[in-house]
Chains A and B, each alone.
Chain A
């Protein structure tokens, strides 16, 4: 760990530090929401495949249900982009 004494740190160091923390935040936003999407999708996906095995025409509906939690990670990505670029 780099020990930074804020009182002695230069402005550049503090800014760099802030950028690092923002990057970590952005990473967490995408990563955690990705895990959340995955957790939600795994059960739906399994059930959808099961339903499709019985009735093939359910593919469309199964696909929709499976991708509904995708939105979670998109929100995460949007938050990350806002953190990084705004």
Chain B
């Protein structure tokens, strides 16, 4: 807790003949983080991948393209397949799947092409179906030109003008899709003059397909075929879904097996090798070194040399050491929040355990409502039971933590969905009547709320209390910063850069206390002196830029009043919804009661959604912006052990 897992740098040296076996064992151990070998020189070069690598990756590519076509998504599976049986049937299964997919794919392409050409034909035929001629009548003349298309303007004018050129022309009009469609038969020699006239009337040529027969009948035929194609395409989609459900286990399992095979086969690309030896440079958690070295010893009996290096002697930069969190299980979900910001560096404080307390605390202070607390708790529990994805599960657990804190503060604020629980406006009293046994208990119980969030008198108290919480939180940050600074830059720098802030605050506190009359007036001068000492220390530690940072102490502290402000806005919305419903809608009776219930449900749903998002974001921000900036740098590398966590298969 509070620190990353202790790691050691280790090296493995052995004869190249043993490389494959060593890779197998390291992969099974799943506890070493391999450092890639990059500096090639005369002595060492990068290792060559095992022979199976290229075959396995080819299969993997084929498998993944099929899986992509079928739309197979990673899922949670209880049913683990046996690796050996998957491998025995792999080629047969893959070929079968491949041919099934290609057959469907080919058929789909043919149908889609046909569908496209039918669509074009239908588009061509639709206006022609308004005329009595067969389609072949429009095409294939030598001395006659046929023009079909949309034209704008008065029919008689157009006709008159065209007949003016030659009387040997035939013109027909029809109205299609609110536009004027015209077909014109005219001798070829007049075509140029005619074209000019047509241009004047904005003539748009319509394509005529080379078909034979009555347009109406053709259309009916095409429409039928189109419906057939749609049905066939649908059956292909069903076929794909069928293949997907039939082969999804196989695809996921073999993807896993092939990934493991390629991972192992390509591992030598990360090692340094000479003509007959290999060197593996890696990181291993201290608590696992003994076990790993025992396994290697038993297996190779001194033929492979495995040893730890002293980090201090090696002068390794801390930023390059991979970082593995070392937190109890309950704190694990908070690591997601840490990773969202940046992983701590190896020797830095890992604040997961601190935000395990402060994040839900801030969340609870902001939302603080029994009703919303229960809603969130239910959502969190459902999420935890239903969500199988490793990425999202921690968020469900986090929601549970936050909902518990919300419940606790809900009890302290005695709020339930924005209604008062006790006293004058108690919802229970209003529901059961002031003089009922139940109503009286809630009416007369005055121990709660500790703070009434919408009460005029209590609001300044909440503001002050939240600013105070902020001061505590910030100073915790300064203390942690002091520790980090002392380790990385020495105690003097730590005192000047971090302790100075605490001294400064101490000075300000003395001034405030004396101004309020809690300590004698002399405190004023004393406080000023202490504050000035703080500022001088800060300038000595951080340089002139430190002065620019000074106002941040006020703005950061005030920033914590958001704990009150966001909380008030959430109560405010709930209160407003309740007022609208109980004050305005319900008293009118009848339909308004139904409307009131609707407003109540919609209003509180919206507020619950806001209640998850707003306090979540603000609680997060207070950690990231106000707290972390006081001590945290981050930028650590993730400890990524060489190995594979199987999800769909088990070893032979």
Interface of A with B (CB < 8 Å)? 59-61, 63-64, 67-68, 70-71, 74-75, 77-78, 81-82, 85-86
Inter-chain contact A75/B341, CB cutoff 8 Å: no
Chain B interface, >50% SS class: helix
- What are 15 A-B interface contacts by the 8 Å CB criterion? A59-B340, A60-B341, A60-B624, A61-B342, A63-B340, A63-B617, A64-B341, A64-B624, A67-B625, A74-B558, A75-B558, A77-B565, A81-B463, A82-B460, A85-B459
By Cβ-Cβ distance, the 7 closest A-B pairs, closest first, are A60-B340, A60-B341, A77-B565, A64-B624, A74-B562, A67-B621, A85-B459
Whole-angstrom CA separation of A48 from B543 in the bound complex: 31
Contacts of A74 in B (CB 8 A): 558-559, 561-562, 565
B489-523 at interface with A (beta carbon < 8 Å): none
B71 → chain A, closest Cβ, in Å? 22
Query: With A63-B624, A85-B456 known to touch, is A78 a contact of B565 (CB < 8 Å)?
Result: yes
B577-623 at interface with A (beta carbon < 8 Å): 617-618, 620-621
A78 → chain B, closest Cβ, in Å? 5
Contacts of B621 in A (CB 8 A): 63-64, 67, 70
Inter-chain contact B620/A81, CB cutoff 8 Å: no
B27 → chain A, closest Cβ, in Å? 26
Whole-angstrom CA separation of A75 from B561 in the bound complex: 8
Query: With A78-B565, A86-B460 known to touch, is A71 a contact of B555 (CB < 8 Å)?
Result: yes
Contacts of B568 in A (CB 8 A): 77, 81
Contacts of B456 in A (CB 8 A): 85
Q: Number of B residues contacting the other chain (C-beta, 8 Å)?
A: 23
Inter-chain contact A68/B625, CB cutoff 8 Å: yes
A60 → chain B, closest Cβ, in Å? 4
Number of A-B contacts (CB under 8 A): 53
Whole-angstrom CA separation of A64 from B569 in the bound complex: 22
Query: With A60-B624, A63-B624, A67-B621 known to touch, is A85 a contact of B460 (CB < 8 Å)?
Result: yes
Given A67-B618, A67-B621: 20 more A-B contacts, CB < 8 Å: A60-B624, A61-B341, A63-B617, A63-B620, A63-B621, A63-B624, A64-B625, A67-B617, A70-B562, A70-B618, A71-B558, A74-B558, A75-B558, A77-B569, A78-B561, A81-B459, A81-B463, A81-B564, A81-B568, A85-B459
Residue of B nearest to A74 (CB): B562
Whole-angstrom CA separation of A63 from B339 in the bound complex: 13
Task: Give B445-470 as 1s and 0s: 1 = Cβ < 8 Å from A's Cβ atoms.
Answer: 00000000000100110010000000
Whole-angstrom CA separation of A81 from B572 in the bound complex: 12
Whole-angstrom CA separation of A37 from B4 in the bound complex: 38
Contacts of A77 in B (CB 8 A): 565, 568-569
Interface residue from A59, A64, A71, A82 paired with B559 (Cβ < 8 Å) = A71
Whole-angstrom CA separation of A52 from B559 in the bound complex: 26
Whole-angstrom CA separation of A64 from B624 in the bound complex: 7
Contacts of A78 in B (CB 8 A): 463, 558, 561, 565
Whole-angstrom CA separation of A22 from B23 in the bound complex: 75
Residue of A nearest to B456 (CB): A85
Residue of B nearest to A68 (CB): B625
Whole-angstrom CA separation of A59 from B621 in the bound complex: 13
Whole-angstrom CA separation of A67 from B625 in the bound complex: 9
Whole-angstrom CA separation of A60 from B617 in the bound complex: 11
Contacts of A64 in B (CB 8 A): 341, 621, 624-625
Whole-angstrom CA separation of A68 from B460 in the bound complex: 24
B620-639 at interface with A (beta carbon < 8 Å): 620-621, 624-625
Whole-angstrom CA separation of A82 from B341 in the bound complex: 34
Contacts of B565 in A (CB 8 A): 74, 77-78, 81
B473 → chain A, closest Cβ, in Å? 15
